[in-house]
Amino acid sequence: MADKPQSGEIFGVPYNFERPSLRRLLSSYWQPGEGMLVKKPFGIGYTLNLANWRSWIVLAAAGALLYQERGKSEDSESEELEDESDEPVEVIVD
């Protein structure tokens, strides 16, 4: 049986299953001459190029959304506790 290629593209999506070296991992995330998305050093698809300023905006927006979501969950827990301390509710069963 023929050996399968370790890297290439399928339907325009790049893949690379060659064993990554530390140098290749680091250099793939910092490519000053490239766009915002670059090929992943290992696996399928694209990753952010940290040498591009637009990637930092994407990371900041994702961090802000994560911070906002975690803040909402903490607020909703405290509101639920406050609601439980209100007056008792009368339940009528027929």
Distance between CA 6 and CA 4 in Å, rounded?
A: 6
Residue-wise DSSP of 50-84 = TTSHHHHHHHHHHHHHHHHHHHHHHHHHHHHHHHH
Does residue 35 contact residue 9 with C-beta atoms inside 8 Å? no
What is the amino acid identity at position 31? Q
Count up the domains in the chain and report the number. 2
Residue 14 inside a domain? The answer is: yes
Q: Are residues 44 and 14 in the same domain?
A: yes
Q: Are residues 3 and 47 in the same domain?
A: yes
Q: Are residues 58 and 47 in the same domain?
A: no
Residue 5 inside a domain? The answer is: yes
The pLDDT tens digits of the residues spanning 50-72 come to 999 999 999 999 999 999 999 88
Supply the pLDDT for residue 6. Answer: 87
The pLDDT tens digits of the residues spanning 11-34 come to 999 998 988 889 888 888 999 989
Q: Which domain holds residue 58?
A: 53-84
Residue 93 inside a domain? The answer is: no
